[in-house]
Amino acid sequence: MKNRILVISWFYPPVNSSEGLVTYKLLKASKYEYDVFTQRNNALWSYGNKDNLSECKNVKSIFAKAKNLESWTKEAIEYYKKNQEKYDIIMTRSMPPESHKIGLEIKKINPNIKWIASFGDPIAENPYTKFTITYSSPYSIKNCAKFRGIISPKRIIRNTVFKIRYQRLHRKFKHQDVKFQENIINNANYIIFNSTYQKDYMLRNFKEEVHSKAIILNHSFDKTLYNGTSKEKQKIEMAYIGHLDNIRSPYILLSAIQELNEENPDLADKVQFSFYGKMADSDKLYIINNELTDIVKVKKPVSYMDSLKIMKESDWLLQIDANLSGILDKNIFFAAKLADYIGAGSKIFGITMLEGISADILRKLNAVMTSFSKEEIKNYLWLIIYNDYQVKLNEEFAKEFDSVEVAKKFDEMVSKL
Amino acid sequence: MKTLSIAIPVYNTEKYIRRCVDSLILKDILEDIEIILVNDGSKDKSIEILNEYKEKYPQSVIVIDKPNGGHGSTINAALGIASGKYFRVLDSDDWFDSKNFITFIKKLKNENADVVITNYKKEYVYNGYSEEMNWEKLKTDVEYEFDKFDLKLLGKEYFVMANSTYKTEILRRSKLKLLEKTFYVDMQYNIIPIQCVKTFTFYKLDIYRYFIGRPEQSMNLQNFVKNRHNHEKVIKYLLEYYTQNVSAFSTNKKEYIKQILFYMLTTHYYIYCVYAKKDKKLVYSEIKEFDDYFKKLNPELYNKMDKIGQIKCNRKTKFMFVKISPQLFSKFVSLCGRLIQRKENNLEK
């Protein structure tokens, strides 16, 4: 094996996206040396690039000049062509999936190269995006102002044609994604998933031999990055850090808080919920309309290092997953922040599907795990706020998410290549 | 003496048991309750969790670890050792609303009615929907005499595990012994103790949270079909119980029990109509055998079932299994109920 491994990842510090940080923590704790081909011009979908995360002695970043994915892809392939003698192992990390596209190209250039494909979310048939795929036909009955328009045969035909075209296009893109993902899985030497649930979902149509290429690597925390300590406070502080939207929505939690507030007029004196990051307007409106602003604070997104500090200083950390019931029976999404929550050592209050990776982790950790039931959430909140409910985290289990432990497993895999 | 013993049957519910027990560990009332956790031969790590609670709260938590014998066997075991004045059952995947439960125990301390009933909620946790199961017509904190009160106050509802708290003494005096290794024994629990109940009261408190984790769990028709022999076993047990004891029941008790049996029997015939789609011959012999047994055992009740169109039709057509959609069927049953009621009212007049 040559000295250095080439890692291709659009996100990597100083751009502190969740994807980049997962890679950063893993490489930092690994015994191998890496060149990371990345970029620092585009900080979209990230905590920003203000943090100065400690340099890793074993990692050298190579920053592309590109500002968009297309030119970044070209630049990465060019980089490899010029430097191919330096590497016999590459690792590509999604999202975005373009890094795997580069992996496929490199594999074409050099079929003998060992390729580790590390997945974030599934590329094809991502259950999360199934919620977002909707179409709005300009010829839809909703857009008709007059009765004549409603009954117009011309409109009906146009609307039908639009629908058929849209569905055909959607099928085409879906087919492309499936083929692309299949290509990655078939050509990579190792495939990294973050949970068995994700692996089972993404490899459900593959033969057993493909399954043997899969390795499960937990998202991890880096205990050297945390600062701040838990302080004595007048109120219980419960914090959520990260992105929320209409699918991963805090609505059920907010409605539980609202009901609790109605039943317990002193609630605002006892507890404060802070949400750091984006939240759907409808949920913000819910907070205002229900006069919860004394109890629930929506705050600006914070940098990664600040988020770790908040995690350490909060009494309870809130984990909210999307409710994918009806699409999936089991949650396959392992939010990277959950690993950081575990590293902070604060108590965790999770709202997730009954089965899946988050539920498994929260249960084994002895954290509070509730389903999407307002009554269940409300009851646990009441127990915490008014009955001094405590949990003792399973420290032995928490160690499984320490980047040092996760990197050991990763290094073992690399040593076999 | 503890105010309340809570029996919690546990079978392979390591994922849910904490939620259940946590909802009862309440500093204000912990010394007033006795939590009897009955591990029914679980194959998962439930027993480790139960022992953890026992170790932490030895004054209030009792663990019974026994070989698998079914839901009924766990309640029998708990009832055998219960020392609380009152007794109620909480399934290990369900939970109590803690705040309301504290109020409930504080009131229960001064209570003397044989049964205390409360409201409950069904929690459809997969979609976040919550269904309130409330007693609309009953007055709160009034002690009703079971033999004299107006049955109409109950509407179509009756006392079930999720809404009733019995005096332990009443359950023991009724010689309640639930069938073992059998499903649907909750129907026994709903009927047998009634013979000894003299008074009941209603607290307008919403305590029990009935957990429905999967969409198919609420319908449960396939489970009914799969376990139809269990359903038949329980029905036969209860029909025999009713037939043997009917002369000793007051009018109210007779009507009340008959109403529950009516519901059970309707369900039972309906199960066969659903199952008939699959295996007509087998189903025919099974339901025919049951129908003959029923006719012989209690002709009066048997004939009364003819008032349900679906049953009458199937009997007349030698169980050709007339299929009616569940929604239509339920509307039909409700219409029949109203017609029967009207007919009876006219007769009374």
Tell me how far apart the 2 most distant CA atoms of chain B are, in Å: 64
- How far away is chain A from the Cα of B263, in angstroms, using its nearest Cα? 30
CA–CA–CA angle B161, B166, B168 (5° rounding): 125
Query: Which CATH number fits the domain that encloses residue A73?
Result: 3.40.50.2000
Closest residue, chain A, to B127 (C-alpha): A372
**Chain A neighbors of B23, CB-CB under 8 A:** 379, 383
What is d(CA A135, CA A276) in angstroms, rounded to the nearest whole number?
Answer: 31
Pairs of CB atoms within 8 A across A/B: 61
Residue B264 pLDDT greater than 60, yes or no: yes
Q: Domain check: are A52 and A187 in the same one?
A: yes
Asked if A375 lies within 8 A of B123 by C-beta distance, the reply is: yes
Asked if A373 lies within 8 A of B125 by C-beta distance, the reply is: yes
Asked if A372 lies within 8 A of B125 by C-beta distance, the reply is: yes
Interface subset of B 65-84, CB within 8 angstroms of A = none
Asked if B213 lies within 8 A of A372 by C-beta distance, the reply is: no
* Closest residue to B98, CB basis, from A354, A373, A379: A379
The pLDDT, as a whole number, for residue A46 is 63
Contact A179, A168 (CB under 8 A): no
The pLDDT, as a whole number, for residue B79 is 97
B276-332 confidence digits (pLDDT tens): 666 777 778 888 899 999 999 999 999 988 887 778 877 887 776 555 555 666 666
Mean pLDDT for chain A? 91
**Residue A66 confidence class, pLDDT cut points 50, 70, 90:** confident
* Closest residue to A382, CB basis, from B99, B128, B130: B99
- pTM for this entry: 0.88
The pLDDT, as a whole number, for residue B267 is 87
Range of the domain at A68: 4-127+176-220+403-415
Q: Domain check: are A137 and A18 in the same one?
A: no
Length of chain B: 349
Residue A325 in contact with partner chain B when CB distance is under 8 A: yes
The pLDDT, as a whole number, for residue B333 is 67
A112-158 confidence digits (pLDDT tens): 999 999 998 899 888 887 666 566 777 777 777 677 777 788 888 88
Residue B130 in contact with partner chain A when CB distance is under 8 A: yes
Asked if B23 lies within 8 A of A382 by C-beta distance, the reply is: no
The pLDDT, as a whole number, for residue A228 is 76
DSSP B208-231: EEEEE-SHHHHH-HHHHHHTHHHH
Q: Domain check: are A45 and A139 in the same one?
A: no
Per-residue CA distances from B233 to B9, B178, B196, B238, B304 (Å): 21, 12, 24, 9, 21
The pLDDT, as a whole number, for residue B141 is 86
**Chain A neighbors of B44, CB-CB under 8 A:** none
Interface subset of A 219-278, CB within 8 angstroms of B = 252, 263
Asked if A388 lies within 8 A of B27 by C-beta distance, the reply is: yes
What is d(CA B255, CA B249) in angstroms, rounded to the nearest whole number?
Answer: 9
The number of folded domains in chain A is 3
Residue A180 in contact with partner chain B when CB distance is under 8 A: no
Residue B123 in contact with partner chain A when CB distance is under 8 A: yes
**Chain A neighbors of B126, CB-CB under 8 A:** 323, 325-326, 354, 371-372
Q: Domain check: are A365 and A323 in the same one?
A: yes
Cβ burial of B296 (10 Å; 0-12, 13-18, 19+) is exposed
| Cis peptide bond prior to A96, omega within 30° of 0 | yes
**Residue A351 confidence class, pLDDT cut points 50, 70, 90:** very high
Q: Domain check: are A216 and A229 in the same one?
A: no
**Residue B46 confidence class, pLDDT cut points 50, 70, 90:** very high
Q: Quickly tell me which residue has 């629908």 as its tokens.
A: A163
Contact A95, A12 (CB under 8 A): no
Asked if A372 lies within 8 A of B127 by C-beta distance, the reply is: yes
The pLDDT, as a whole number, for residue A127 is 83
Residue A68 tokens read as 């968009």
Residue A69 pLDDT greater than 70, yes or no: yes
Reported ipTM: the value is 0.86
Residue A175 tokens read as 């087919």
**Chain B neighbors of A391, CB-CB under 8 A:** none
Contact A73, A94 (CB under 8 A): no
Q: Domain check: are A374 and A228 in the same one?
A: yes
Instruction: List A114's β-bridge partners, or say none.
Output: A89
Q: Which of A262, A325, A271 is nearest to A291 (CA)?
A: A262
Residue A371 in contact with partner chain B when CB distance is under 8 A: yes
Residue B166 tokens read as 């019995």
Q: Which of A172, A405, B335 is nearest to B324 (CA)?
A: B335
DSSP A201-254: HHTTTS-HHHHTTEEE----B-GGG--------SSEEEEEES---SSS--HHHH
Provide the residue type at B184 as one letter.
Y
A196-231 confidence digits (pLDDT tens): 999 999 999 999 889 999 999 999 999 999 987 777
- How far away is chain B from the Cα of A348, in angstroms, using its nearest Cα? 15
- How far away is chain B from the Cα of A386, in angstroms, using its nearest Cα? 9
* Closest residue to B128, CB basis, from A263, A373, A379: A373
> What is the H or E stretch that residue B233 is in?
helix B228-245
Contact A209, A285 (CB under 8 A): no
Residue A373 in contact with partner chain B when CB distance is under 8 A: yes
Residue A389 in contact with partner chain B when CB distance is under 8 A: yes
Closest residue, chain A, to B132 (C-alpha): A375
Per-residue CA distances from B3 to B85, B111, B165, B169, B172 (Å): 5, 10, 11, 13, 16
Average pLDDT of the residues in A78-107:
94
The pLDDT, as a whole number, for residue B107 is 97
Q: Domain check: are A248 and A344 in the same one?
A: yes
CATH of B4-217, one of 1.10.3720.10, 3.90.550.10, 3.30.930.10, 3.40.1390.10: 3.90.550.10
Residue A349 in contact with partner chain B when CB distance is under 8 A: no
Residue B281 tokens read as 């011959």
* Closest residue to A387, CB basis, from B26, B121, B126: B26
DSSP A264-301: -TTHHHHEEEEEES---HHHHHHHHHTT-TTTEEEE--
Interface test with A, best of B45, B125, B214, B218 (most A CBs within 10 A): B125
Provide the residue type at B196 as one letter.
C
Asked if B98 lies within 8 A of A382 by C-beta distance, the reply is: yes
The pLDDT, as a whole number, for residue A19 is 87
Contact A388, A347 (CB under 8 A): no
Contact A277, A243 (CB under 8 A): yes
Contact B71, B83 (CB under 8 A): no
**Residue A41 confidence class, pLDDT cut points 50, 70, 90:** confident
Q: Helix (H, G, I), strand (E, B), or coil: what is residue B320?
A: coil
Q: Which of B116, B150, B143 is nearest to B252 (CA)?
A: B150
Helix axis angle, B251-275 to B280-297, nearest 10°: 160
For B47-50, the CB contacts below 8 A with 24+ separation are B49/B14, B49/B17, B49/B18, B50/B10, B50/B17
Average pLDDT of the residues in B25-40:
97
Residue B200 tokens read as 């009941």
The pLDDT, as a whole number, for residue B226 is 82
**Chain A neighbors of B218, CB-CB under 8 A:** none
Q: Helix (H, G, I), strand (E, B), or coil: what is residue B161?
A: coil
Q: Domain check: are A337 and A368 in the same one?
A: yes
Phi, psi at B61, each rounded to 5°: -115, 130
- How far away is chain A from the Cα of B98, in angstroms, using its nearest Cα? 7
* Closest residue to B125, CB basis, from A376, A386, A389: A376
Q: Where does residue B184 fall: left (phi above 0), alpha (psi -120 to 50 degrees), or beta otherwise? A: left
The pLDDT, as a whole number, for residue A28 is 96
Q: Which of B107, B129, B133, B106 is nearest to B119 (CA)?
A: B133
The pLDDT, as a whole number, for residue B211 is 92
DSSP letter assigned to residue B304 = H
What is d(CA A212, CA A100) in angstroms, rounded to the nearest whole number?
Answer: 20
Average pLDDT of the residues in A330-352:
96
Q: Domain check: are A68 and A215 in the same one?
A: yes
Q: Could you tell me the residue ranges of all domains in chain B? A: 4-217, 220-348
**Chain B neighbors of A354, CB-CB under 8 A:** 15, 125-126, 213
Asked if A354 lies within 8 A of B27 by C-beta distance, the reply is: no
